[in-house]
Amino acid sequence: MSAELNPSERTSVELFAGGGGLAMAVHRSGFRPLLLNEFVKYACDTLEANGAVSRGEEELIPELEDPVPLVRGDIRDLKMGYLEGAVDLLAGGPPCQPFSLGGIAKGDEDKRNMFPEMFRAIREIKPKAFICENVRGLLRPSFKPYFDYIVRELMFPFEERAPEASWLQHDAILREKERKDETKSSERYQVLMFPVNAADYGVPQIRNRVIIVGFRGDLDIDIELLKVATKPTHSKLALLETMASGEYWERHNSIEGRAKIPSHVIKHVMNEAEIALPFEEGTSGLLPWRTLRDALAGDEITRPLPDIPWNKLDRKQYDNMPREHIGWPDARIYAGHTPNVLDRPAKTVKAGVHGVPGGESVMLTDTPVRGTRTPREYRHRYMTVRETARVMTFPDDWKLCGPRGEQMRQLGNAVPVLLGQVFAKAVAAVLDDVQKRS
């Protein structure tokens, strides 16, 4: 997905590619993409702006030096059999629209549910492994029976569902196959499910998701290696420790190009977080959660994002500002629509622009509201597209296409790159281990 990345012997296919978050993560983890598929026009434009090229009608497997082939359009029209035996990792986040309790009872499903296409892709491609990402809501009690059915379908993808059968009828067949355990190993997958919070993996955002990983049954995989490789690396406790010790504040106050944090902000945050008392050093054993302030400040690779002046909330791209770092007017906060705060991970980025339920696209700043006796109230504004991309751990040179609303939609639907990398690298490590022992 990016010219500076070196292709490897491992290969991948990305379905439901969106704005490229999971595809980028998989590529960065050492997999050479053989195919991308996406339906939404602006998301396809984004993929092409970052190096993918239209495959056209010819079914071809790209050479090492070739750009990534992109097929625009409905996955239901995409034939993938030509990739059989050539793919190590199939990745994607199939849209899985919710349906009612009544629908579950009747076996009725939303036609926008794309998991059946993921099952078909596994049948046609027969990858060594797959990664599926989706919302944590799949695990809610009202949906859990259907989620368990999805997992069983991923375990036995070659047991196709009859067109006239309800999912409940098909699930009964899969349950029986699971009970008998007689399916040929090359036609079943070992499936593991991981409920995750992206903040626990270094993403500056509270983002609860479920990640499903599967390996073809004829591979002798080390499950413990996978579990160790996907353990959380960051924690809330470690963040509180750095705040209580002062390290967090000192680090930010020493960043060139960023304004110093006012003492009243520090006092307010410390009081709100109830962390005035010190912690024993190293009690968590993990790295600190990254905050919204951390994301805006950058790191050893990315430069700090400049503040948006209050008189520049005017929808204009200024020459002295980074790409898509554009101020937007008329942000509001009210009951039930509360903003992001700088010294916590951001709220979950959602696929919307303004009026997103919960205020996920609004942020408080360090600037007090004029006229207050004490600086306990702070001004707020919309987050820019570039700030939102930072929260999703997209690199600053990743180009997003379309109007602002479509760019934000792509980010809200994406997998944070850092989270995707954790699981893609874990899959790579497991496959490498299999190869070494074979």
Mean pLDDT by runs of 10 across the 438 residues of the chain is 53 96 96 96 97 92 93 96 96 74 53 89 97 89 89 96 92 95 92 97 96 96 96 93 93 90 90 58 78 94 93 96 95 88 94 57 91 74 96 97 94 96 98 92
Who contacts 43 (Cβ-Cβ below 8 Å, separation ≥6)? 17, 18, 19, 20, 406, 410
3-state class (DSSP) for residue 259: coil
Integer angstrom CA distances of residue 341 from 360, 373, 379, 380:
10, 21, 11, 9
| pLDDT confidence of residue 261 | 95
Residue 159 lies in a domain: yes
Residue type for 414, please?
Answer: A
Residue 124 lies in a domain: yes
How many other CB atoms sit within 10 Å of the CB of residue 412? Answer: 20
Ordered alpha helix ranges (H), 31-166 = 41-49, 101-106, 115-125, 144-155
Q: Are residues 117 and 144 in the same domain?
A: yes
Give the residue numbers spanning the domain of 31: 10-232+416-437
Q: Are residues 242 and 376 in the same domain?
A: yes
| pLDDT confidence of residue 158 | 96
Q: In total, how many domains does the chain have? A: 2
| pLDDT confidence of residue 113 | 83
d(CA 115, CA 105): 19
User: Is residue 96 annotated as a catalytic residue, yes or no?
Assistant: yes
Alpha carbon of residue 278 to chain centroid:
34
Please identify which of the residues 44, 96, 132, 401 carries the catalytic annotation.
96
| pLDDT confidence of residue 100 | 47
Q: Are residues 138 and 221 in the same domain?
A: yes
Residue 4 lies in a domain: no
Q: Are residues 157 and 239 in the same domain?
A: no
Q: Are residues 127 and 113 in the same domain?
A: yes
Residue 3 lies in a domain: no
β-bridge pairing 69-72 and 53-54:
parallel
Q: Are residues 108 and 162 in the same domain?
A: yes
Residue 254 lies in a domain: yes
Q: Are residues 226 and 247 in the same domain?
A: no
Q: Are residues 198 and 84 in the same domain?
A: yes
Q: Are residues 136 and 249 in the same domain?
A: no
| pLDDT confidence of residue 379 | 93
Residue 297 lies in a domain: yes
Strands (E) in 231-370, as ranges, are 234-235, 287-288, 362-368
Residue 5 lies in a domain: no
Q: Are residues 354 and 267 in the same domain?
A: yes
How many other CB atoms sit within 10 Å of the CB of residue 29? Answer: 21
Residue 156 is given by DSSP the state: S
8 A C-beta contact, residue 239 and residue 202: no
Residue 1 lies in a domain: no
Strands (E) in 321-372, as ranges, are 362-368
Integer angstrom CA distances of residue 181 from 114, 167, 217:
27, 21, 12
Q: Which helix (H) or strand (E) holds 15?
A: strand 10-15
Q: Are residues 275 and 144 in the same domain?
A: no
CATH number of the domain where residue 178 is located: 3.40.50.150
Who contacts 371 (Cβ-Cβ below 8 Å, separation ≥6)? none
Q: Are residues 101 and 173 in the same domain?
A: yes
Long-range CB contacts for residues 178-181, cutoff 8 Å, separation at least 24: 178/152
pTM: 0.92
